[in-house]
Structure 1
Amino acid sequence: MPSPHYTDPRLVALYDTLNPAAADTAFYLALAASKSCVIDLGCGTGLLACELAAQGARVIGIDPARAMLQVARKRPHAAQVDWIEGDAGALALLPPADLVLMTGHVAQVFIDDSAFLATLKAARHALRTGGELAFESRNPAARAWGAWTPARSLRKIAVEGAGEVEVWLDNVSEHAHSVVRFSTHYRFSASGEELISQSELRFRSQDELAALLHEAGFGKLHWFGDWDEAAVSAQSRELIVIAR
């Protein structure tokens, strides 16, 4: 069942404030600068897709969450993007792309290897010869979830129409196959209402990601450990890959 992060309009309205444009956005925009056709798979509220369109590329944004796409369609340059409500299955119906992106750590939402592999294969078949797939996944060696405590994760944000909202993470637990489960709490100061969203993420190692990418048909993998294009190390917070 999809997380309320992506389906509950009250939480979708907070998404851009909690996830603004940052170093990852700049990285993907630079990667796409010379590309004619870009597919943003899991485009969410469309921040990156619309920035890509502003650069002049033909952009297709795909996401299964209708509430997220409703936000995306209201952005500047949204009219220049082809929006599709769906998942990787939609890729089979599209023209060949120069670049497929999966951003926002969407790769970690795929708990099951077979589901993730099917998505990688669909992305591979959606690319023209020489096309690239790019995405990032948190490096399990960095154990990011160690900081997902109420005290360390608490944020206070102000959102138009919602007022002040306190957001924090709690109830983190580790499970087999590097799956981490946790809850995200949202407390709306004006009403006192608190919403809780349950999530789980898969933390795959570089070797695990590489094996799946090779099985999906990608032969050349270029890795970075951060958005400044530093090499991957044990201390790297990210595993960023560009695959051909």
Structure 2
Amino acid sequence: MRHAEFRDPRLVLVYDAECPWSREDDFFLSVVNETPGSRVLDLGCGTGRLALGMASAGHAVTGVDPARASLEAARAKSNAERVTWIEGTSSILPAGSFDVAVMTSHVAQFFVGDDEWAIALADLKRSLVSGGRLIFDSRDPRARRWERWNPVDSRRRIALPDGRAVSAWTEVTAVQDGAVSFTHHYTFPDGERLLSTATLRFRTEGLIRSSLQEAGFTVESIHGGWNREPVGAGDGEFLVIARRC
């Protein structure tokens, strides 16, 4: 199944266990906190980890995601009532409703085609107030992170809350024109095996900057790592902070 780790309840549980709060969330929260008490959009909120953290920090948070199973997991968490959860895509975003918009966990890379990326940026611009900020992460293609997505380097054991452990690994199936397709393999203790496929777009810094400019954003900064290192000197990331013109 495509994007099964977000759509299949069995794998949503695995995803949630594998992805606890991290320094990545610390980075996003620190930038959002620069606008105290803001109205925040978390586009592609998944199971709600960051959305709930931002709500706890005093922001009015709306989490939007097309995957119902992920939203159901988010709604079941403690203090979930602090967040407005909406099933949908960027197309449903209301105009001028947010001071800050975030896309975390490389959600920006799921917009593979240039046209769909442009549409998403247009929707985000519409949803932000004048001067509102857009914050997202995208992997630097020069780091060639996908070369580690193989049966040896990517193999991992994921402990679930009920004490079971799931074995997982990733394989790349295609690399073409800046897009990398891959499959996550999961094996449960009872022998059940599930697959999740996806494709990510690895845009260069130049492409990110030009697409934002064309969409009506001004780039404030792009960092290369979670401690705000320069591009090329951090974690192989583009951590983008832009402002709606």
With structure 2 as the length reference, what TM-score do the two structures score?
0.94
Which whole-Å CA distance do the structure 2 matches of 1:148 and 1:100 have between them? Answer: 29
Letter in 2 for 1:82: T
Counterpart contact for 2:226–2:234, Cα < 8 Å: no
Q: Per-residue displacement from partner, 1:140-165 (whole Å, max 9, x unpaired)?
A: 00000111111111111110347110
CA apart distance, 1:74: 1.3
Aligned-partner SS, 1:153: coil
Counterpart contact for 2:136–2:241, Cα < 8 Å: yes
Which whole-Å CA distance do the structure 1 matches of 2:166 and 2:139 have between them? Answer: 26
Residue 238 of structure 2 aligns with which residue?
A: 239
**Dislocated runs of 4+, deviation >6 Å:** none
The within-5 A match list for 1:151-166 is 151-161=152-162, 163-166=164-167
Q: Per-residue displacement from partner, 1:106-155 (whole Å, max 9, x unpaired)?
A: 11111111101111111112111221000000000000011111111111
Residue 10 of structure 1 aligns with which residue?
A: 10
Letter in 2 for 1:12: V
Counterpart contact for 1:145–1:172, Cα < 8 Å: no
CA apart distance, 1:178: 0.8
Counterpart contact for 1:35–1:99, Cα < 8 Å: no
CA apart distance, 1:86: 0.4
Answering whether residue 114 of structure 2 is matched by residue 131 of structure 1, we say no
Which whole-Å CA distance do the structure 2 matches of 1:162 and 1:46 have between them? Answer: 22
Residue 228 of structure 2 aligns with which residue?
A: 229
Residue 181 of structure 2 aligns with which residue?
A: 181
The within-5 A match list for 1:30-109 is 30-33=30-33, 34-91=36-93, 93=94, 95-109=96-110
Aligned-partner SS, 2:138: strand
Which whole-Å CA distance do the structure 2 matches of 1:64 and 1:131 have between them? Answer: 23
Which whole-Å CA distance do the structure 2 matches of 1:119 and 1:35 have between them? Answer: 25
CA apart distance, 1:2: 4.8
Counterpart contact for 1:140–1:204, Cα < 8 Å: yes
CA apart distance, 1:173: 2.5
Residue 195 of structure 2 aligns with which residue?
A: 196
Residue 143 of structure 1 aligns with which residue?
A: 144
Aligned-partner SS, 2:129: strand
Counterpart contact for 2:225–2:236, Cα < 8 Å: yes
CA apart distance, 1:199: 1.5
Q: Per-residue displacement from partner, 1:6-65 (whole Å, max 9, x unpaired)?
A: 111110111112111111100111111224210100000000001111111110000000
Aligned-partner SS, 2:218: coil
Which whole-Å CA distance do the structure 1 matches of 2:2 and 2:52 have between them? Answer: 24
CA apart distance, 1:243: 0.4
**Structure 2 unmatched runs, 5+:** none
Counterpart contact for 1:141–1:235, Cα < 8 Å: no
Which whole-Å CA distance do the structure 2 matches of 1:5 and 1:123 have between them? Answer: 25
Identity %: 40
Q: CA RMSD in A?
A: 1.5
Which whole-Å CA distance do the structure 1 matches of 2:208 and 2:5 have between them? Answer: 25
Letter in 2 for 1:116: W
**Structure 1 unmatched runs, 5+:** none
Counterpart contact for 2:139–2:202, Cα < 8 Å: yes
Aligned-partner SS, 1:152: coil
CA apart distance, 1:242: 0.4
Which whole-Å CA distance do the structure 2 matches of 1:69 and 1:205 have between them? Answer: 31
Counterparts in 2 of 1:234 and 1:207: CA distance versus 1, 3 Å = farther
Answering whether residue 25 of structure 2 is matched by residue 25 of structure 1, we say yes
